[in-house]
Chains A and B, each alone.
Chain A
Amino acid sequence: QVQLQESGPGLVKPSETLSLTCTVSGASLTGLYWSWIRQPPGKSLEWIGFIYYTGTTSYNPSLKGRVTMSVDTAKDQFSLSLTSVTAADTAVYYCARDLNWYFDVWGRGSLVTVSS
């Protein structure tokens, strides 16, 4: 059974960097795409970007160059970094397996609050 688990600080100060890691169990990262998606409280979902197991990335232009993703296949992990955060970045952050045509497995989500 494939499982994804997000981890990282639940509280980040404004202007600082949000960092999250997704650990994959029950499957290899090889050959697949892996995405980050977020959901502000009470709002809809927003795709942040994806990373291929080789390290190739694609990001949502709305995040204006603040996003960086990385992958560590040896540790079965991929990571998200979002710089210069504001209160608008407060959200539940999900990692998900992207089969290139749909998200078939999601993590449980990690609430990140941006506040001083």
Chain B
Amino acid sequence: QSALTQPPSVSGTPGQRVTISCSGSSSNIGSNSVNWYKQVPGTAPKLLIYNNDYRPSGVPDRFSGSKSGTSASLAISGLQPEDEAVYYCSPWDDNLNGWLFGGGTKLTVL
């Protein structure tokens, strides 16, 4: 069981806005920035958001991240079929002295 809690699944129709939450604690999200990764089944994860709310080059501005206290969120607006994937949150954890990953949230585009 992960120290980070994400909903197992979310869904939406094309064009809609969805959010994925990530709940942690003071030793991880509460004191460190959060990154988000997107993983299409059968492929390696890809960096989507870093340092809470920054997008790497090439990631559409439909994707945004935020953090408040010990929780973080990923928002996807203008949902598209290619957004269907599993999304993971990942902060550094001061107790582990290493990286944590959430359990992952499967996004289905209906």
Contacts and interface: CB of A to CB of B under 8 A. Distances in A.
Contact of B51 (A35, A102, A106, A109): A102
Contact of A44 (B2, B44, B96): B2
A49 B98 contact: yes
Given A44-B2, A44-B103, A45-B88, A102 B47 contact: yes
Contacts of A58: 97-98
A102 B50 contact: yes
Contact of A106 (B2, B44, B92): B44
Interface in A31-72: 35, 37, 44-47, 49-50, 58-61
Nearest to A95: B44
Interface residues of B, number: 24
A70 B3 CA distance: 28
A103 B47 contact: yes
A103 B88 contact: no
Contact of B35 (A50, A102, A108): A102
Contact of B50 (A50, A101, A109): A101
Contacts of B35: 101-103
A107 interface: yes
B104 interface: yes
B44 A94 contact: yes
Contacts of A109: 44
B51 A60 contact: no
B60 interface: no
Given A35-B99, A102-B90, 5 more contacts: A37-B99, A44-B2, A44-B103, A44-B104, A45-B90
Interface of A: 35, 37, 44-47, 49-50, 58-61, 94, 101-104, 106-109
Interface of B: 2, 33, 35, 37, 43-47, 50-51, 56, 88, 90, 92, 96-104
A-B pairs, top 10 by smallest CB distance, nearest first, are A47-B99, A45-B101, A102-B50, A106-B44, A102-B35, A44-B104, A44-B103, A47-B98, A104-B47, A109-B44
